[in-house]
Structure 1
Amino acid sequence: MSYDTQVPAAPQRVMRNGLGTAALILGIIGALSGLIPLLFWLAGTLGLIALILGLVGKGRVKRGEANNKGVTLTGAVLGLVSLILATVGLVITVTAVSDAVEEIDKAVQSAAPKEPSAKAEAPASEAPASDAPAADDKAKGKGLADGDSSVYDDKLKVTVSDPKPYTAGEYAVGHTKGNQAYKVTVVIENGGTEKFDTTLTSMTARAGAEGVEAEQIFDEGVGSAFEGDILPGKKATLTVAFDAPKGTKDLTVEVSPGLDYDASQWELKIG
């Protein structure tokens, strides 16, 4: 009688290569994401996970639990590369945002309205009047007097004369029968180094203590608006008429040289 003495073969160990494979996939995606600076957050997250999985997978290879050493190492290296690219992307993004904010601040500052000087200038042909508005007077809200000038930071100077009676024509627009028309002379002088566009200059007026709107009169004898540019060292003069109720004792005229300028007001006495 014979006996079979063959020993059964031991079962083969199943290789646990999943961590190495996952590290490789995440490392590739993280590295590609790192090429786009704005995706630094994605590259950093995937790179960190890939690096951790790669290192754990390398331990499995050493213990004989996995046999994909090359894949695992590649995944770990790509994870490290992703982290480096994420750091570079973060620096680039922060720098770009900082530069953009700085440019926006500069644009806002350059577009901010130019404020007129606090103290009005008296006409060159006259000595300064004792009751001319001083810096503290204007700070309290008092307007300029007739003949005073409002000077802006860019050396632009606006001057308004005292009101004179004006007889509106038969076909004048803006004049109401029974009201009294008054005209003022507005002078804009460009003391700066660049030409000044007068197109956006606006002028309004209010009559009396109640501040009733004084409508601008459009007639042959008065102008309607400034036109064209004023070269450095030159000036432009315009006569403007406003309609006010009879018996008005004062006229408040407001002139704004443009959107980039604060408006200035003149409190003018009539008569």
Structure 2
Amino acid sequence: MSQHTQQPQFPQAPVPAAQARNGLGTAALILGIIGALSGLIPFLFWLAGILGIIALIMGLAGRGRAKRGEATNKGVALTGAILGLVSLIISVVGAVILFKAVGDAVDEIDKATNGASASKKSGDDSAKGGDKGGDKAGETLAAGDSALYPDKLTVTVSEPKPYTPSEFAVGHTKGNKAYQVTIVVENAGKEKYDASLFTTEARAGKDGVEAEGVYDDKVGKPLTGKIMPGKKVTLQQAFDAPADAKDLTVEVSPGITYDASQWDLKL
């Protein structure tokens, strides 16, 4: 009877489980959070875009690892990918807002610059026009010149001519001379002009004494009512001046919101 030698059996050590590779998912979550927060700052939209792309790629890669059993943080990786996508969207919106704001600012600067240039050119043209008889409101004008206001209201005063008041005239002093001027008010604008506050005054002689207005059936009627766009009104006014006066200054004020204009008239 043969005898067999029994070999001792030793227990085998268990195979260690593979370590979970959760780094991609965790990194995607961190970068996604930073990217989303960066996107809330307009000037950091570029950073949000870069971090968003990296977070999206790493999140998708981490989710793939979790599906293959190589990682255990599938939810973290998915959240990181979603935050990466959100960061990209915020980045695009931030870029649009910033570029639009910059464009609007440039447009405003261009408008201001062009407006200043236009105003300067307008001022130069007006100054040149003054030598040719073109006039601007607020300046001292000559007979026949026109004062043009910003709303395109135009006032023109004619040369004075001697006027003989009637026996019933008011404002004429014996020994003085009366002079009549024709005032034309034209509304070339788009809005109605209210003439209720239209006034005229005059001074005469080298001492600038007040030249009282003369009122009778032919002159001195006030300008009232409204002047419609495209219409004009002719007004006859007369002023009483000392007999030795050589000049007459007529001042016209279209209203409280207008600058008064003056005409230096030779008698």
TM-score (norm 2): 0.51
Per-residue deviation, residues 172-231 of structure 1 (Å, max 9, x unmatched): 7xx99x9987553212356x6978636375544443345x47477495651333532256
Matching of residues 69-80 of structure 1 within 5 Å: 69-80=77-88
Q: Distance in 2 between matches of 1:224 and 1:155?
A: 18
The answer to whether 1:150 aligns with 2:146 is yes
The answer to whether 1:54 aligns with 2:55 is yes
Which amino acid in 2 is paired with 1:236? V
What is the CA distance between 1:79 and its match in structure 2?
Answer: 1.5
CA 207–254 in structure 1, closer or farther in 2 if over 3 Å, else same: same
User: Is the 2:26–2:77 contact (alpha carbons within 8 Å) kept by the matching residues of 1?
Assistant: no
Which amino acid in 2 is paired with 1:229? I
SS in 2 for 1:223: coil
Pick from 83, 89, 94 the counterpart of residue 81 of structure 1.
Answer: 89
What is the CA distance between 1:69 and its match in structure 2?
Answer: 1.7
CA 15–219 in structure 1, closer or farther in 2 if over 3 Å, else same: farther
The answer to whether 1:240 aligns with 2:237 is yes
Matching of residues 17-56 of structure 1 within 5 Å: 20-25=28-33, 41=42, 44=45, 47-48=48-49, 50-51=51-52, 54=55
CA 136–72 in structure 1, closer or farther in 2 if over 3 Å, else same: same
Q: Distance in 1 between matches of 2:110 and 2:253?
A: 29
Q: Who wins on radius of gyration, i.e. which is larger?
A: 2
The CA RMSD over aligned residues, in Å, is 6.0
The answer to whether 1:249 aligns with 2:257 is no
User: Is the 1:48–1:80 contact (alpha carbons within 8 Å) kept by the matching residues of 2?
Assistant: yes
| Counterpart residue number, 2:264 | 267
CA 241–136 in structure 1, closer or farther in 2 if over 3 Å, else same: closer
Pick from 226, 229, 247 the counterpart of residue 228 of structure 1.
Answer: 226
Q: Distance in 2 between matches of 1:92 and 1:263?
A: 45
Same amino acid, percent of matched pairs:
26
Q: Distance in 2 between matches of 1:242 and 1:201?
A: 17
SS in 1 for 2:146: strand
Pick from 159, 162, 165 the counterpart of residue 160 of structure 2.
Answer: 162
TM-score (norm 1): 0.51
Structure with the higher helix share, 1 or 2: 2
* Number of aligned positions between the proteins: 231
SS in 2 for 1:252: strand
What is the CA distance between 1:144 and its match in structure 2?
Answer: 1.7
Gaps of 5+ in 1: 1-5, 34-38, 120-133
Pick from 182, 186, 194 the counterpart of residue 183 of structure 2.
Answer: 186
